[in-house]
Amino acid sequence: MTEIRPIAAGSRAAWLVDDLQRDAGWTFTLPEAAGAEMVAAIRRAHRPGQPLIAYAQEDFDFGQALPTLRAAFAETQDGRGIALLRGLPRDALTEPEFELLTWAIGLHCGVARPQGKATHYLSAVRDVGTVYRSGTGRGYSSNAELDFHTDGADVVALTCYNTAKSGGMSMVSSSVAAHNILVAERPDLAALLHGTFHFSRQAEQAADEGAFYPHPIFAERDGRLHSRWNRNRITSAQRLAGVPALSPDQHAAIDLLDEILRRPAVMYAMHLAPGDMQLLNSHTTLHSRTEFEDHEDPARKRLLFRLWLTPSAARALPEAWRPGYRAVAAKTVRGGIRGQAYDAERRAFEVRQAAALGLSPGAA
Residues lying near Fe ion in the complex (CB under 5 A): 151
| Closest to Fe ion by CB, 68 or 227 | 227
The conformation of residue 273, written as its DSSP 8-state character, comes to P
Comparing CB distances to Fe ion, the nearer of 99 and 151 is 151
Nearer to Fe ion, 183 or 307 (CB): 307
Q: What is the CA 274 to chain-centroid distance, rounded?
A: 19
Give the Cα separation of 193 and 197 in Å (integer): 8
The residue among 46 and 80 lying less far from Fe ion, judged by its C-beta, is 80
Minimum CB distance to Fe ion smaller for 68 or for 143: 143
Handedness of CA 191, 194, 197, 199 (dihedral sign): positive
For residue 177, what are the contacts with CB-CB under 8 A and spacing of at least 6? 14, 15, 16, 266
CB 317 within 8 A of CB 283: yes
What is the nearest approach in angstroms of Fe ion to the Cβ of residue 223? 27
Nearer residue to Fe ion within complex by CB, 151 or 350: 151
Minimum Å distance from CB 278 to Fe ion? 11
**Is residue 256 within 8 Å of 263, Cβ to Cβ?**
no
Please name which of 269, 260, 259 lies closest in space to residue 17, comparing C-alpha atoms. 269
Kindly state the smallest distance separating residue 115's Cβ from Fe ion, in Å: 10
CB of 308 vs Fe ion, minimal distance in Å: 10
For the CB of residue 231, give the shortest distance to Fe ion in the complex, in Å: 12
Sign of CA dihedral 310, 316, 317, 322: positive
CA distances from 238 to 187, 192, 235, 250 (A): 25, 17, 5, 13
Tell me if 20 sits within 8 A of 78, measured CB to CB. Answer: no
Looking at the Cβ atoms of 151 and 204, the one nearer to Fe ion is 151
Backbone φ and ψ for 78, nearest 5 degrees, come out as -115, -5
Q: Are strands 27-29 and 82-86 parallel, antiparallel or unpaired?
A: parallel
Q: Could you give the maximum distance between any two Cα atoms of the chain, in Å?
A: 58
Of the CA atoms within 13 Å of residue 307, those in its CB half-sphere come to 27
Q: How far is the CB of 245 from Fe ion (least distance, A)?
A: 26
> What DSSP character marks residue 2?
P
Residue 229: CB minimum distance to Fe ion, A = 11
Query: In terms of CB distance, is 109 or 158 closer to Fe ion?
Result: 158
CB of 138 to Fe ion, least distance (A): 9
Report the distance separating Cα 285 and Cα 81, nearest Å: 6
Nearer to Fe ion, 42 or 286 (CB): 286
Using CB atoms, what's the residue nearest to Fe ion? Answer: 151
Q: In what helix (H) or strand (E) does residue 35 lie, and over which residues does it extend?
A: helix 32-45
CB of 156 to Fe ion, least distance (A): 6
